[in-house]
Structure 1
Amino acid sequence: MDSKQVYLPSLVFLLSLVSLVKCSNWCYTGCAETPSHWEEMPGSSCGGQRQSPVNIVTSNVTADLALNDFIFVNFSSQHTIKLVGFNGHSVQCTLMDNEVEVSGGGLNGTYSATQFHFHWGDKEPHPGSEHTIDDNRYPAEMHILTIKKGVTTEEAKNQSDGFAVLGFFINGTDNGDLSGAWHTLTSTNITGSSVDVEVSFNFSIDDLLGDVNRKQFYRYHGSLTTPDCDEAVVWTIFHEPIQVPHNLINRFSENTDLVNNFRPAQPLYGRKVTASPATPLPPVSEHHWCYDSHCYYSPPQWSEMPDSYCGGQSQSPINIDTHSVVMDNTLGSFTFKNFDKGAINYITNTGHTVECVLKDNMVEVSGGGLKHAYSTLQLHFHWGTKAANSEGSEHTVDSHRYPMELHIVSKRKDLTLKEALQTSDGLAVLGFFIEDSQSSKRITSSSGVSSSDMRPWTKLTSYFSAIQNISSQVKVTDVISIDDLLGSVNRDSYYRYSGSLTTPSCNEAVVWTVFKDTVKLDHNLMMMFPKYTTFQDIYRPIQSVNNRKIYSTSAAEALRSILLYPLLGCLFALVP
């Protein structure tokens, strides 16, 4: 056995290296310069529009015949890895100079491989790949970094294709080779004071990659995924993952005290992702939409989707110009049936928002100028980012956008959902703005319950950890009523207009009620929405009013509602 190589049953070397890592001015968690602040660092390109990683939406990927087979030089050599180390951000294997090369695969030239490293999560089932496929994140990801031959590192940083990175997803298996290349790599012991330690492995890069089909891959232009995030990378993401036993993957997080060392997915900003001809792609008929530019159908393109009404003349949301609203004395009080009951059946991550699905045929809305009775189906939310001053409501009032907005969606009781979507008043949506409970003081209701009581919202958000994956859902066992969530909001003062759903296919079938009063919510609870879903700025831009009338409850009615609470307070004060 080579004296430079010692095998142990765990990744002991990483533990010994943690104390040796030099301080860095960025991190994934635990310091000021987390990924959301990388763009603020001096000399950083992390705020650019060609950033990596990205979410690859396979239905938006097109095949490119120019993406031919790769040529891999010395990938089968067992003597190309010269150093292994932990740099505080990843485990990195440094390769012998000018020995490993990559060409073909649609690359413009030959590239020399310099190192490969890894990204991981926090033990399974908390995945940590940087790139995602249709929002699916793999347990880990391996990056082989190569630089174009004939250029220096500094020159490469200033060329759009100066680097070529080969990305391989790593998937966990219940069984597999526990004595091969991955065992050797994750069992290496490093001693001494050097972060990088010389090794003499008896395995090759091919041994690590296993049976991955290297004819199937995705291609796009992006950046390095760590500061300074230079936009100089031709990315190749292989479709098939490397299969590695779970316990070997877990050694990365177990022994480094480093978890979740992956950058969140970045917007595409119009970039196209292509694929090699051999890559399996879904049928063209499957369409995906999103709020930002990480997919083909971003908001400006929603009207181009099949069977879409998003280009219509009565679209939502809108800006409510209070100077042009029309007072309507027929807009009276609502009748809310079972809003005081625990009606939430389950909570789900739709891939676009957090949605609370209600128990069937339990909650109803009528009155309030509505011409029909409506059965309430679900409620969902729109929000901005994790920033303290984030704004994410869909509707705006005099161009002011609130931090969040709650939509309670109801369907006419006399119609099927399909019929309701094709009827101008088939749906009724109640919109409530949400703002920080500390932004202003709130008068308590006549029941004596303060609107700052966050217990119902604390219960609601406690379920979010169970819906971090798209399409996941969790049964609600707590009694949480809609009344609990709305608190003491004045429901007699509101705006009314005819509009549409605010997500594709944007059917113009909605009677909109937007309440003037706001729900007050603790800022930390607001942050649970972007934290657990990772969705940000999930609101549609303002749509043109197009001569539609916006109505309002009468001034006298609004004044009566505003004066009600103080008056009741005075009356109670007189009771002996």
Structure 2
Amino acid sequence: MQSKMCLLRLVLGLTLVALVKSNLWCYSGCGHTPEHWEALDESHCGGQKQSPIDIVTSVVTIDPNLGNFTFVNFSSQSAIKNITNNGHSVQCDIEVDMVEVSGGGLDGEYSVLQFHFHWDVANNSGSEHTLDGHRYPMEMHIVTAKKGILPNETLNHNDGLAVLGFFIDATEDGNISAPWETFTSYLKDIPEEGLSVKVDNITIDDLIGNVDRTKFYRYMGSLTTPYCNQAVVWTIFQEPIKVHKDLLLRFSTDNGIAPNYRPIQPLNGRNITASPATPPLHLWCYEDHCDYTPSHWSELSGSHCGDESQSPIDISTDTVVENEALNSFNFTNFDNKHAIKSITNTGHTVQCVLEDGLVEVSGGGLSHVYSTLQFHFHWGTESAHSVGSEHTVDQKQYPMEMHIVSKRKDLTLDEALKTPDGLAVLGFLIEAPSSTKSSSSTAPAETTSPTSSSASNAEAWKALTHHLPDIKDVESEVEVTDEISIDDLLGNVNRESYFRYSGSLTTPSCNEAVVWTIFKESVKVDQVLMAMFPENTGYHNIFRPTQPLHSRKIFTTAAAAGLVPVWVYLLLPCLCTLFC
């Protein structure tokens, strides 16, 4: 067994311990930086199941099979052999066949080989994986190999390796962890590649600390260094290890290793699951119950929320520009009564997920065909006088707003988020049938208030909202079996008359990838039904404030009649009598 484990180390060392000749690849400053790793001989770095990824908590599903782990000898003071500068990271080797991991949904027992780190502490942004776009200063990877597989076959199995990933967050309080003080003191002894020193009296448990190891995410992926073999069962623990910033800075100052994390890779349809103990994690929110309220969204890692073309906006009808190219839309399967697959509580809103590849949008001045993915809502409170729409028209804010989100058919979602017209969102303002008042406007209500012709199908809204009591818990989801179409919800609202502008998503990371269409007429929904959204979810005022227009133009359909106050039409017969 001893000789087998030694051979296993030799095989895995070529990929895990960065012993692929250090001058062949790098994170910066050489010919093979991360975007060129796939050009390396024998590389898998261009594969479809690459790591790291962004864990988007709104799409994570709970897996009841992800139970508790069993950690063998994580508390042993003789398990960590040494700490080494391998040129790409700081790595600690583990005594052969001494430390093991099982459980946690893993299929078998795994032997711990080593652990290492990725960081960019100076910029507070060095973890490889991200949570809802948030990047931590560091990440620790505990690398294990599946027992019972021949050493030379380990990298040929999609679960040949299991890596435990722990985020590391920097603190600035007065509490300095003694184990981390001791551990980081060794860094000054390995300032150059190839140097290694023995480690005494530190356990893996000491470094992990009191992180709750029952809360974790799971997905299938790859090594994050060449050759990026797709042989890894990834476990990413939700809670970060807390370490004083002064200690973490030693990783940057006591060796010659620059920031050493691989950029986020496309998910490519892979599922991300979570253990039952994992609570929903939302780094951002609308109201004052988290660190990142709308005014601070721009501070999130990877955020575009402070850029120049943000949404929502106020649509000033005095400055819109008519555009003849804004013609009629083509709505494919908007009338399909089985297009809505499920309704879910995302932790921020109520979202209706559509059947894959069924619903489409084209025309309407769009340059591409778009596949409709989902629609969701923004609202205020239960009050009959509440406002909650994101867009406003002449400063008027409506009670609710519905967003129908579509993606260009020729792009993946990852590509669409990086393309100025990658997404098309149809925005429908919602108000009660009797609503005529402008909630926050000095403009006359008649200027922007829709006519009564836009009444929706009340039975469809009743059918949709009766699911809301079943999704009170965050991440809860129910199948929609009722016969409800998108057309039923929209009713006979005029879809020929609308505004158009270029903007962004209205939630982090606020990617500026959206062609926005805001319809002039509002959808009419009974106030009691609208109130069911905040009543059942507990979410209030879930709308982003309007953003500066900057130099953008807002276009409107050429049929400008929608901009003329209703009273003008009522006076026309009188005017003709007087002057004709």
After TM superposition, give the deviation of residue 59 of structure 1 in Å. 1.8
Distance in 2, matches of 1:275 and 1:430, equals: 38
Kept in 2: contact 1:176–1:244 (CA 8 A): no
Residue 311 of structure 1 pairs with residue 310 of structure 2: no
Which moves more between the two structures, 174-183 or 309-318? 309-318
After TM superposition, give the deviation of residue 123 of structure 1 in Å. 0.9
Paired position in structure 2 for 1:268? 267
Kept in 1: contact 2:69–2:104 (CA 8 A): yes
Paired position in structure 1 for 2:447? 414
After TM superposition, give the deviation of residue 108 of structure 1 in Å. 0.9
After TM superposition, give the deviation of residue 166 of structure 1 in Å. 0.3
Letter of the structure 1 residue corresponding to residue 127 of structure 2: S
Kept in 2: contact 1:84–1:94 (CA 8 A): yes
Distance in 2, matches of 1:203 and 1:220, equals: 30
Pairs within 5 Å for 1:27-38? 27-38=26-37
Residue 259 of structure 1 pairs with residue 258 of structure 2: yes
Kept in 2: contact 1:130–1:262 (CA 8 A): yes
Q: Is the alpha carbon distance of 1:312 and 1:392 closer, same or farther for their aligned partners in structure 2, counting shifts above 3 Å?
A: closer
Q: Give the 4+ runs in structure 1 shifted more than 6 A.
A: 191-194, 357-362, 416-421, 506-510
After TM superposition, give the deviation of residue 249 of structure 1 in Å. 1.3
Kept in 1: contact 2:497–2:519 (CA 8 A): no
Paired position in structure 1 for 2:60? 61
After TM superposition, give the deviation of residue 428 of structure 1 in Å. 2.8
Paired position in structure 1 for 2:185? 187
Pairs within 5 Å for 1:132-147? 132-147=130-145
After TM superposition, give the deviation of residue 43 of structure 1 in Å. 1.1
1:429 is aligned, of 500, 513, 528, to 500
Paired position in structure 2 for 1:292? none
Q: Is the alpha carbon distance of 1:417 and 1:101 closer, same or farther for their aligned partners in structure 2, counting shifts above 3 Å?
A: farther
Q: Is the alpha carbon distance of 1:202 and 1:316 closer, same or farther for their aligned partners in structure 2, counting shifts above 3 Å?
A: farther
Kept in 2: contact 1:72–1:101 (CA 8 A): yes
After TM superposition, give the deviation of residue 51 of structure 1 in Å. 0.9
After TM superposition, give the deviation of residue 176 of structure 1 in Å. 5.2
Pairs within 5 Å for 1:57-136? 57-124=56-123, 126-136=124-134
**Cα offsets for 1:385-431 (capped at 9, x unmatched):** 9xxxxx94639xxxxxxxxx999x9x999326999996435543267
Kept in 1: contact 2:450–2:520 (CA 8 A): no
**Cα offsets for 1:62-98 (capped at 9, x unmatched):** 1112111111111001111112111121111111111
Which moves more between the two structures, 411-420 or 270-279? 411-420
Kept in 2: contact 1:147–1:153 (CA 8 A): no
Paired position in structure 2 for 1:167? 165
Residue aligned with 1:50, SS: coil
Letter of the structure 1 residue corresponding to residue 359 of structure 2: G
Kept in 2: contact 1:80–1:99 (CA 8 A): yes
Q: Is the alpha carbon distance of 1:251 and 1:429 closer, same or farther for their aligned partners in structure 2, counting shifts above 3 Å?
A: same
Pairs within 5 Å for 1:368-407? 392=419, 394=421
**Cα offsets for 1:143-173 (capped at 9, x unmatched):** 0000012335431110010000000011111
Kept in 1: contact 2:26–2:88 (CA 8 A): yes
Kept in 1: contact 2:180–2:207 (CA 8 A): yes
Distance in 2, matches of 1:509 and 1:128, equals: 45
TM-score between the two structures when normalised by the length of structure 2: 0.51
Distance in 1, matches of 2:113 and 2:281, equals: 35
2:153 is aligned, of 152, 155, 167, to 155
Kept in 2: contact 1:303–1:311 (CA 8 A): no
Distance in 2, matches of 1:201 and 1:39, equals: 39
Q: Is the alpha carbon distance of 1:45 and 1:282 closer, same or farther for their aligned partners in structure 2, counting shifts above 3 Å?
A: same
After TM superposition, give the deviation of residue 47 of structure 1 in Å. 1.1
Distance in 1, matches of 2:142 and 2:451, equals: 50
Distance in 2, matches of 1:92 and 1:172, equals: 20
After TM superposition, give the deviation of residue 55 of structure 1 in Å. 1.0
Kept in 2: contact 1:316–1:502 (CA 8 A): no
Distance in 2, matches of 1:187 and 1:74, equals: 24
- Cα RMSD (Å): 4.7
**Cα offsets for 1:92-127 (capped at 9, x unmatched):** 111111111111111111111010001111414x31
Distance in 2, matches of 1:240 and 1:85, equals: 27
Q: Is the alpha carbon distance of 1:81 and 1:418 closer, same or farther for their aligned partners in structure 2, counting shifts above 3 Å?
A: farther
TM-score between the two structures when normalised by the length of structure 1: 0.51
After TM superposition, give the deviation of residue 44 of structure 1 in Å. 0.9
Q: Is the alpha carbon distance of 1:312 and 1:111 closer, same or farther for their aligned partners in structure 2, counting shifts above 3 Å?
A: closer
Paired position in structure 2 for 1:477? none
**Cα offsets for 1:310-351 (capped at 9, x unmatched):** 935545674489xxxxxxxxxxxxxxxxxxxxxxxxxxxxxx
After TM superposition, give the deviation of residue 502 of structure 1 in Å. 4.2
After TM superposition, give the deviation of residue 470 of structure 1 in Å. 4.3
Paired position in structure 2 for 1:297? none
Distance in 2, matches of 1:237 and 1:67, equals: 12
**Cα offsets for 1:497-556 (capped at 9, x unmatched):** xxxx747xx76779xxxxxxxxxxxxxxxxxxxxxxxxxxxxxxxxxxxxxxx99xxxxx
Distance in 1, matches of 2:364 and 2:221, equals: 34
Kept in 2: contact 1:123–1:254 (CA 8 A): no
Q: Is the alpha carbon distance of 1:271 and 1:471 closer, same or farther for their aligned partners in structure 2, counting shifts above 3 Å?
A: closer
Letter of the structure 1 residue corresponding to residue 42 of structure 2: G
Distance in 2, matches of 1:201 and 1:418, equals: 77
Pairs within 5 Å for 1:151-300? 151-175=149-173, 177-178=175-176, 180-188=178-186, 189-190=188-189, 195-281=194-280
Distance in 2, matches of 1:417 and 1:182, equals: 63
Which stretches in structure 2 are left out of the alignment for 5+ residues? Answer: 1-18, 286-332, 334-338, 344-350, 370-389, 396-407, 413-417, 430-444, 455-489, 522-556, 559-580
Q: Is the alpha carbon distance of 1:394 and 1:204 closer, same or farther for their aligned partners in structure 2, counting shifts above 3 Å?
A: same
Kept in 2: contact 1:315–1:502 (CA 8 A): no
Distance in 2, matches of 1:53 and 1:68, equals: 23
Give percent identity, aligned residues only: 44
Distance in 2, matches of 1:192 and 1:424, equals: 66
Letter of the structure 2 residue corresponding to residue 130 of structure 1: E
After TM superposition, give the deviation of residue 23 of structure 1 in Å. 3.9
Q: Is the alpha carbon distance of 1:315 and 1:193 closer, same or farther for their aligned partners in structure 2, counting shifts above 3 Å?
A: closer
Q: Is the alpha carbon distance of 1:255 and 1:60 closer, same or farther for their aligned partners in structure 2, counting shifts above 3 Å?
A: same
Residue aligned with 1:187, SS: helix
Paired position in structure 2 for 1:559? none
Residue aligned with 2:36, SS: helix
Distance in 1, matches of 2:122 and 2:114, equals: 24
**Cα offsets for 1:418-467 (capped at 9, x unmatched):** 999964355432679xxxxxxxxxxxxxxxxxxxxxxxxxxxxxxxxxxx
Distance in 2, matches of 1:203 and 1:81, equals: 7
After TM superposition, give the deviation of residue 265 of structure 1 in Å. 1.5
Q: Is the alpha carbon distance of 1:316 and 1:129 closer, same or farther for their aligned partners in structure 2, counting shifts above 3 Å?
A: farther
Distance in 2, matches of 1:320 and 1:59, equals: 27
After TM superposition, give the deviation of residue 206 of structure 1 in Å. 0.3
Residue aligned with 1:123, SS: helix
After TM superposition, give the deviation of residue 260 of structure 1 in Å. 2.9
